[in-house]
Amino acid sequence: MSLRLLIVSTLDSSQPFGAFTRPFYLGMHLANYFEVCQLGLDCSSVNYSQSVSVGSRSLTQYTQAIRQCIETFRPDVIYTQETLPSIAALIVNSSQKGQKIPLVFDFHTLSAFEYWTRFPIANNKFNELIQFVKTYIAQGILVFSGNPIIAAGQPISHLLSKWYFTKPERAYCVGNGVAEDLLHLDRLTLPDPYQKLRPAKIVAVVAPRTFQFPSNDMSVEMAVEIARDLETVDPKIHFVVIGRDAQQIDQVLPSNITFSGFLPRRENFLNHLHYADIGLLPFPDQAVAGGARNKALDLFACRKLVVTTPEGMRGLEGFKHQQHLVMSEASTAKVAQSIREICENFDAYEPLIEAAYRLVQDKYSWKAKAEAITKILATCQ
């Protein structure tokens, strides 16, 4: 009989980007090794196991839902992702009578670091400071709890040691992966969504609204400024922001940028990536963009040339400038210059696209990531 695994996360099926990706796809492949139950904000998309939707980010409701799952599902291991689910599971487990259920925490990012890095530019510094203190204490409790920790990349593992002056005894690194459908976009039969914009080269920016952290908002602001720099210089370059509406932008927009709005169907999202020419990750240094790792891997898997600032590739150091992608300084003028140079001789960058695609195929599948996590979870019994 397989072990019963309760996965607790902030999985939100109404927002199929960012934090949705890691719990959903890891859960899908972990279901091959465990009897899985997914618990998240909105698990309506989970079709590979039983699931429970909490519907709220309330700590109280998370603890209640976990208690209920323990009673009905009786997990052998609880695997949590992000701070809120992990704290809720720790509270429940600590109050359990008798033998405790093994817990494994997964840190997609170090939230306190993100708050602190953005503090100088925060509109409400008091609120930002409160959030920093709360998350620093919360994640510190998890670090010092003695439970195994999985970091989504070496930078997160390094930050945990640096910020808490300790190295957890059982700490592991398992980064993000890519879904199989991204590697086979040639199977799509939908028409080019950018047909009316041709013959312009399409520069795609994936930037849906996200909860709490403004990284995507900052990337949109930077993308607009980059487009403005190129508006009168090169009419054959057009920017498309995937995931939000132009009405959400409180400024006059240049003529060479379009907003697709939210794309609820995955095939439409994939189609917008499939027909784009360049994938842009325009993150300023202050963005601290943990979710950029997902976007970068998706773009590499789709055989798109990635143009990025350094923050856009943090945690994916295996991909190199001028070997797999084009990295620019984090300034609108420098990024605009890089995009213009690329579009003047686009075919010359085909080797970078193919090299990145091969690297993703070899090392970054969700199946491989789930196998690594399975080995970690198996040691917790």
CATH of the domain at 289: 3.40.50.2000
Q: Is residue 140 within 8 Å of residue 118, measured between CB atoms?
A: no
Domain count, the chain: 2
Task: Tell me how far apart the alpha carbons of residues 36 and 338 are, in angstroms, rounded to a whole number.
Answer: 46
Residues 6+ apart with CB under 8 A from 36: 4, 5, 6, 7, 27, 30, 48, 49, 50
Q: Is the pLDDT of residue 375 over 90?
A: yes
Record the pTM. 0.83
Same domain? For 118 and 42 the reply is yes
Kindly indicate the confidence band of residue 186, based on its pLDDT and cuts at 50, 70 and 90: confident
Tell me how many degrees the CA angle 184-189-192 measures, rounded to the nearest 5.
100
Q: Is residue 289 within 8 Å of residue 313, measured between CB atoms?
A: no
Same domain? For 349 and 212 the reply is yes
Mean pLDDT of 102-123: 83
> Domain span at residue 298?
180-363
How many secondary structure helices (H) and strands (E) does the chain include? 12, 13
Q: Is the pLDDT of residue 5 over 70?
A: yes
Mean pLDDT, the chain, whole residue set? 91
Same domain? For 214 and 169 the reply is no
Specify the pLDDT at position 289: 66
Same domain? For 63 and 123 the reply is yes
Same domain? For 17 and 152 the reply is yes
Which stretch of 12-21, 89-98, 322-331 has the lowest confidence by average pLDDT? 12-21
Specify the pLDDT at position 189: 84
Same domain? For 171 and 184 the reply is no
Same domain? For 315 and 372 the reply is no
Same domain? For 34 and 103 the reply is yes
Same domain? For 67 and 13 the reply is yes
Specify the pLDDT at position 212: 62
Pick 97 or 290 by higher pLDDT: 97
- With a pLDDT cut of 70, the percent of the chain lying above it is 97
Kindly indicate the confidence band of residue 315, based on its pLDDT and cuts at 50, 70 and 90: confident
Same domain? For 359 and 369 the reply is no
Q: Is residue 109 within 8 Å of residue 158, measured between CB atoms?
A: no
Same domain? For 205 and 152 the reply is no
Measure Cα distances from 34 to 71, 77, 90, 305, 354 in Å: 18, 10, 21, 37, 35
Specify the pLDDT at position 18: 63
Same domain? For 103 and 205 the reply is no
pLDDT, one tens digit per residue, over 62-79 is 999 999 999 999 999 999
- With a pLDDT cut of 90, the percent of the chain lying above it is 63
Residues 6+ apart with CB under 8 A from 58: none
